[in-house]
Amino acid sequence: MKEKHINDVQTSTVDEHLKLILEDDSINDPSSDVTSNDLPHWYDKQLYKKAQNFYNRNLFGITIADIVGVIAIFSITSILKVLLYTKQSSIPCAAFKRYVETHLHIQNIYTSDANNTDSNWYKSINVIRWKHKTNSDRSKNAGVGPIYQRDMVLTQFCFVGYILMTPKYFGIRSEPIEDEAFNHFWRVNGYMLGIPDNLNICRKTAAETRELCQKIVKTVFMNSLNQVSFDFDHTVSTIINSLWYIDLDLNKDHLLILTYQVHGTECKYSMFILIKYIILLKSFLRIITEDNSPFLLFKYLYFLKINILYM
């Protein structure tokens, strides 16, 4: 029997699709490795490659968008519980290993050949599948809860949503065909990671996917980001502190504010951050007055410029 096209499996409207995602409680269970023979019959080689070229042109912006996605996804309680149980983000050293590996796997997906079973594309896809299954089984057996397909879809959102909804926040410009290619790219990736076609966040067109992502922001992330726990703050701090060793420009305060901005909600940390920098400014002024050093004046003013830039 011929496999149905994903367009025929997904709901006819975005609202129905959203309802299906929110109500689903099935468990993600990628049981075996995949090869190029497992690519969906609707896979478009040229369109997929166009998305990879789009990534190469916008590598920095897409990477920052991915970091924002990582921050946002930890506001989802079911996902954060599994992460905390694995203890892979409990200290900067462990978080550094986990997220550098994750970045390299994502880079392989963006740059390697999906048509070649022996390529790094399949090595990374299968490692991700294996880790999802292992962590889901462990956390389920421990009574913490498994990785649900709903969690997989919300994570998929964090890789595709911002690029389609708020590209200007990340300095990204795209042509309509590139939006369609990016949509197809993550549609295929979701399929290969075990997300059922009816739940796959990427719909028939980039416009429909964008609309679905906007509804997910309003119904899921605007609420979750305004109800975060201490564990969220600790996890985000640990991750950003670990990634700082790769990119010295990464700043937790900036990234938190950016995360809340792209979701259209006020950052609950804004007042705390503002007070922190006012205290810093007062300390700097006192030191400058005591030392009477023009060099210190320049140094501290430059520091403040960098740290208040996005406030």
Domain ranges of the chain: 6-269, 273-310
Token digits of residue 236: 């985000």
Is 74:68 a contact under the CB 8 Å cutoff?
A: no
Predicted local distance difference test score (pLDDT) of residue 282: 55
pLDDT at 89: 63
Question: What is the pLDDT, as a whole number, of residue 310?
Answer: 43
DSSP label at residue 88: T
Q: Of 28-37, 66-75, 161-170, 211-220, which range is least confident?
A: 28-37
250: phi > 0 → left, psi -120 to 50 → alpha, else beta; which?
Answer: beta
| pLDDT given for residue 309 in this prediction | 44
pLDDT, tens digit, 9 for 90 and up, residues 209-252: 999 999 999 999 999 998 888 888 888 888 888 777 676 677 78
Q: From 283, 277, 272, 266, select the one nearest 305 (Cα to Cα).
A: 277
Helix (H, G, I), strand (E, B) or coil at 148: strand
Q: What is the pTM of this model?
A: 0.84
Looking at residue 174, what DSSP letter applies? -
Structure tokens belonging to residue 153: 């879809």
Confidence at 276, pLDDT banded by 50, 70, 90: low
* CA neighbor of 183 nearest in space, from 199, 153, 159: 159
Dihedral over Cα of 78, 84, 89, 92: its sign: positive
Q: Is the pLDDT of residue 201 over 60?
A: yes
